Chains A and B, each alone.
Chain A
Amino acid sequence: MPQQLNDKYLHDMTAPTVRPRHYQKQLRRVLVAYAAQKTAKPSTMQGVLQFMSKPKQIMAGVGAVAVLAVAALSLTVTQQPQSVSAREVAQTASQNLAQMSEAQVAEMSPQELKYAKYHPLFVTWLQQAEQAPDLQLLTYEGLVEKYPHLKEAAPTTHDPLLVIDDPRDGATPDPRSLRYLEFTGNDNGHYKVAIGVNDHNVPEAALHYIIEVGVPIMHDQPIRQ
């Protein structure tokens, strides 16, 4: 402990400098991807749409459907006022399905058809969740029944909220372990996501989750039968 804490002592004191290169690179990748989604220009989306209208053998699987829907939706959103409600986004996605040709719809698998009515970014998330049987998806009603304290995060059914419940050992998870975050989606809608895991914390990983896995926005609708 210093004899005297004077100005010279404080100026001479050196604070650490660290270069977390790998974390820095990782976060950059996620942020730039997110920024790209937020700033996609109509002309860019036009180009994507033209590309996506080519035969489906260019891209395999549901990814093509999801990207087509995303492109169409993004073009629509950029032509609208900046604030778009979650419900409007979902409705637009459904309309996209309605506007697809019979031939395009006929080529879709039952799974693609099932997901096409949801927000297109949600499609990828649902697919991943389907492959992870430990994840349970709850409606708003199921959520607040199970975790009443989360009503603070989403007081009414008009607040979009999705919980990914992760009971690792089959037991009812401790509601205190639930984590949630709030963010502005790429349609400028405000979303809240509660994710039931413990351990600590990397918000950029959550951002990846939003960008690459999906934006959960459906309320008042059963997410899984």
Chain B
Amino acid sequence: MTITEEQKLIERAKTDSEAFGQLYDEHYLVVFNYVLRRTGDAQLAQDLTADVFIKALTKMHSFAWLGRPFAAWLYRIAGRSIADHFRGKHTKNISLEVLMDELGFEPVDETDIHQTLVETETALERHQQYTQVREHLKTLPTKYQEVFALRYFEKKSIAEIAVITARREGTVKSLLSRGAKKIREKMT
């Protein structure tokens, strides 16, 4: 999708639910995998990703196009949601299993949701290098986690990270350098 097409879709999404659905389709996997890589927890990634899109939906009416990709906004919301979660500010949730069993909530199809979670957990386990780095990264302040994850997990450029995090490129480079040094110290 070009920037112009995205801009038009965003404007439509403010009043058209299906247009929002298209934005969701375009960005869901990016957000989910970013949250998964930051947290290393499949269920938490599902919850926080839903949280991100709910927040995006409720704030769509006030979204102002500034020429930056929509994904940058979603990354920022995701970063805040992750930070809030680990600060203990997350909302409490209810159990899907209870809704299914007792209140007749029916999922889209009969696929076992747990199977999806198991597959996700398996994928996490296969990437051991990433897992080691992530565990140490989680002990660092949020500002390091964000830029580090965007650079090395999401493969974003310095310029893209600067847009997403609303920081100067020099600051991003500095955080990356200091973050890598801190992780290096923890791993030796």
Interface residue ranges, A against B (CB under 8 Å): 1-2, 4-5, 7, 9-11, 13-29, 31-36, 38-39, 41, 128, 132, 134, 166, 178-184, 195, 197-209, 213
Contacts and interface: CB of A to CB of B under 8 A. Distances in A.
Nearest to A207: B54
Contacts of B96: 202, 205
B180 A7 contact: yes
Contact of B94 (A15, A21, A206): A206
Interface in B128-176: 129-130, 132-134, 151-154
A22 B57 contact: no
B131 to A, nearest CB: 9
Q: Is the interface on chain B under 10, 10 to 19, 20 to 34, or 35 or more residues?
A: 35 or more
Interface in B20-46: 20-21, 24-25, 28-29, 32-33, 36-37, 42-43, 46
Interface of B: 14-18, 20-21, 24-25, 28-29, 32-33, 36-37, 42-43, 46-47, 49-51, 53-54, 57-58, 91-99, 102-105, 107-109, 111, 113, 116, 119-120, 123-124, 126-127, 129-130, 132-134, 151-154, 180, 183-184, 187
A134 B98 CA distance: 12
19 contacts: A2-B187, A10-B151, A10-B152, A15-B154, A16-B123, A18-B123, A20-B116, A23-B116, A28-B25, A28-B28, A34-B57, A35-B17, A128-B104, A179-B92, A180-B91, A197-B98, A202-B93, A205-B93, A213-B103
Contacts of A198: 95
Nearest to B18: A32
Main secondary structure of the interface of B (DSSP, over half): helix
B183 A5 contact: yes
Contacts of A36: 17
A23 B45 CA distance: 11
Nearest to B130: A15
B106 to A, nearest CB: 9
A22 B113 CA distance: 7
A61 B21 CA distance: 32
A15 B153 contact: yes
A11 B152 CA distance: 6
Contacts of B92: 178-181, 201
A80 B35 CA distance: 39
B105 A18 contact: no
B86 to A, nearest CB: 15
A209 B99 CA distance: 9
